[in-house]
Structure 1
Amino acid sequence: MEQVLIGVDAGTTMIKTVAFSPDGDAIHRSSVANAVKRPESGWAEQSMVTTWKKTAQTISEVVDELDDSSKVAALGVTAQGDGCWLVDADGAPVRPAILWSDGRAGEYVREWQTEGITDRVYDVCGGTQFPGSSLVILRWLREHDPESYEAADTVFFCKDWLKYKLTGELTTDLSDASLPYLDVETGEYADEVLDAVGMPEVADMRPPLAEGTAVVGEITDAAAIETGLDVGTPVVSGFIDVAASAFGSGAALPGDGSSVVGTTSLNQTILDEPPSDGARAGITLALGEGLWTKFMASMTGTPNLDWAIEEIMDKSAFNLVEEEVESIPIGSDGVLYHPFLSSAGERAPFINPNARAQFMGLTQEHTQAHLVRAVYEGISLAMRDCYSHLPYDADEIYLSGGGANSDFWCQMFADCLNATIVVPRGSEFGAKGAALLAGVGVGAYGDLPSAVEETSAVERSFEPRPEKVQQYRRWYDVYRDAYEATFDVWDERSEALADLRYMSGSGPYQPKKKSVTGKDTAGGG
Structure 2
Amino acid sequence: MYVGIDVGTSMVKAAAFDAGGRALAVESRPVRLDIHGGHVEQDMEELYGAVVDALGTLTAALPEPVELAGLTGQGDGVWLVDAEGRPVRPAISWMDGRAHEFVDAWLASGVFESVFRRSGSAMFPGCPGPVLAWLDRHEPAALDAATTALYCKDMVFQRLTGVRATDVSDASMPFLDPRTRAYSSDVLAELGLAHRERLLAPVSDPVATGELPSGVRIANGPYDLPACALGAGVTEPGDGLLIIGTCLASLVATDTLDLDGEPGGLHISTDRPGHWLRAMPAMVGTAALDWVLTLTGTDLAEVDSLLDAVEPGAGGVGVLPYFAPSGERAPFVDPALRAELTGVSLESTAADLIRATCEGIAYAARHCLEAAGLTGTLAVCGGGTRSPAWMRLFADVLGRPLRIVEGEVGARGAVLASAARHGVPLDVAAWTSPTTVLTPDPARAAYYTKGYETHLTRLSSARARHGS
* Alignment TM-score, normalising by the size of structure 2: 0.95
Q: Does 1:182 align with 2:203?
A: no
In 2, Cα distance between equivalents of 1:276 and 1:375: 33
Equivalent-residue separation in structure 1 for 2:68 and 2:208 (angstroms): 9
Name the stretch that deviates more: 147-156 or 87-96.
87-96
- The residue number in structure 1 matching 2:87 is 93
Q: Structure 2: which amino acid aligns with 1:481?
A: T
1:354 to 336, 339, 356: 336
| Secondary structure in 1 matching 2:371 | coil
1:253 aligns with 2:236: yes
The aligned amino acid for 2:159 is: K
Instruction: Report the Cα distance in structure 1 between the residues aligned to 2:157 and 2:200, rounded to whole angstroms.
Output: 15
Q: CA deviation at 1:326?
A: 2.6
Q: Does residue 224 of structure 2 align to residue 241 of structure 1?
A: yes
Q: C-alpha separation between the residues in 1 aligned to 2:61 and 2:235?
A: 31
The answer on 1:403 being equivalent to 2:384 is: yes
Q: 1:413 to 1:107 in 2, by over 3 A?
A: same
**C-alpha contact 2:44 2:90 (8 A) present in aligned 1:** yes
Larger deviation, residues 402-411 vs 301-310: 301-310
* Residue 481 of structure 1 pairs with residue 454 of structure 2: no
Offset of residue 365 of structure 1: 4.2
Give distance in 2, aligned partners of 1:392 and 1:384: 10
Structure 1 position 330, deviation (Å)? 2.5
Secondary structure, aligned partner of 1:278 = coil
Cα distance in structure 1, aligned partners of 2:321 and 2:43: 29
Deviation digits for residues 215-239 of structure 1, max 9, x if unmatched?
Answer: 52223xxxx2xxxx23xx2221210
1:295 is displaced (CA, Å) by 1.1
Provide the C-alpha distance between the structure 2 equivalents of 1:248 and 1:104, rounded to a whole number of angstroms. Answer: 33
Q: Which runs of 5+ in 1 are unaligned?
A: 492-515, 518-525
- Which residue of the partner structure matches residue 293 of structure 2? 309
The separation in 2 between residues aligned to 1:317 and 1:76, in whole angstroms, is 31
Residues in 2 aligned to 1:273 and 1:445: alpha-carbon distance in whole angstroms:
28
How far apart are the structure 1 equivalents of 2:333 and 2:259? 21
Q: Distance in 1 between matches of 2:169 and 2:300?
A: 39
Partner of 2:106: 112
How far does residue 56 in structure 1 lie from its aligned partner after superposition?
1.1
Name the amino acid aligned to 2:343.
Answer: G
For the Cα contact (< 8 Å) 1:275–1:391, is it kept in 2?
no
Deviation of the 1:442 alpha carbon: 1.8
TM-aligned CA distance change 1:65 to 1:325, over 3 Å: closer
Change in Cα spacing, 1:407 to 1:177, as seen in structure 2 (3 Å) is same
Alpha-carbon distance in structure 2 between the residues aligned to 1:285 and 1:268: 9
**Equivalents in 1 of 2:364, 2:132: separation in Å?**
30
CA shift in 2, pair 1:121/1:277, >3 Å:
closer
Cα distance in 2, alignment partners of residues 136 and 343 from structure 1: 15
Among candidates 259, 263, 267, match of residue 284 of structure 1: 267
- Distance, in Å, in 1 between the alignment partners of 2:280 and 2:196 is 26
Cα distance between partner residues in 1 of 2:58 and 2:230: 22
Per-residue CA distance 1:461-489 (angstroms, 9 max, x = gap): 21123332222111111111112111243
Contact 1:211 1:237 in 2 (8 A): no
Match in the other structure for 1:341: 323
Alignment-derived partner of residue 30 in structure 2 = 33
Identity of aligned residues (%): 33
Aligned residues of 1:172 and 1:209 also touching (Cα < 8 A): yes
In the other structure, the counterpart of 1:436 is 416
Q: Is 1:169 aligned to 2:163, yes or no?
A: yes
Conservation of the 8 A alpha-carbon contact between 2:120 and 2:259:
no
The CA deviation string for residues 103-124 of structure 1, in whole angstroms up to 9 with x for no partner, is 1111111011111011011011
The structure 1 segments of at least 4 consecutive aligned residues displaced by more than 4 Å after TM superposition are none
SS of 2:264 mapped into structure 1: coil
Would the aligned equivalents of 1:277 and 1:391 in 2 still touch at CA under 8 Å? Answer: no
* TM-superposed deviation, 1:186: 2.3
Query: Counterpart of 1:452?
Result: 428
Q: Distance in 2 between matches of 1:389 and 1:182?
A: 22
Shift of 1:14: 0.7
- TM-aligned CA distance change 1:324 to 1:99, over 3 Å: closer
Contact 2:80 2:91 in 1 (8 A): yes
1:129 counterpart residue number: 123
Counterpart check, 1:78 vs 2:92:
no
| Offset of residue 264 of structure 1 | 1.6
Q: CA deviation at 1:13?
A: 0.9
Q: Distance in 2 between matches of 1:474 and 1:382?
A: 14
User: For residues 338 and 267 of structure 2, what CA distance do their matches in structure 1 show?
Assistant: 26
Taking the TM superposition and a 5 Å limit, the aligned residue runs for 1:442-521 are 442-445=422-425, 451-489=427-465, 491=466, 517=468
Answering whether residue 278 of structure 2 is matched by residue 294 of structure 1, we say yes
Q: Give the partner amino acid of 1:271.
A: T
Correspondent of 2:209 among 213, 216, 219: 216
Within the candidate set 139, 144, 153, 1:159 is matched to: 153
- Aligned-partner residue type, residue 308 of structure 1: V
Residue number in structure 1 paired with 2:20: 23
1:318-356 alpha-carbon deviations (Å, 9 max, x no partner): 34x433443433222322111111222221122222221
Which TM-score applies when normalising by structure 1? 0.85
Specify whether residues 325 and 54 from structure 1 end up closer, same or farther in structure 2 by C-alpha distance, changes over 3 A only: closer
Q: Which residue identity is paired with 1:34?
A: V
Distance verdict in 2 for CA 1:302–1:371, change over 3 Å? same
- Once residues 27 and 406 of structure 1 are traced to their aligned partners in structure 2, the CA distance between those partners, rounded to angstroms, is 23
Runs of 5+ in structure 2 lacking a partner?
none
Decide whether aligned partners of structure 1 residues 34 and 324 sit closer, same or farther in structure 2, where only a CA change above 3 A counts: closer
> 1:509: which partner in 2?
none
Deviations 1:80-112 (A, max 9, x none): 000001122444321111010011111111011
Aligned residue type for 1:297: P
Letter in 2 for 1:203: E
Q: Residue 365 and residue 31 in structure 1: after superposition, are their counterparts in 2 closer, same or farther (change >3 A)?
A: closer
CA deviation vs aligned residue, 1:275-307 (integer Å, no higher than 9, x gap) = 456231211100021321111111221222223
For the residues of structure 2 that align with 1:467 and 1:120, how far apart are their CA atoms? 44
Where 1:243 maps in the other structure, the secondary structure is: helix
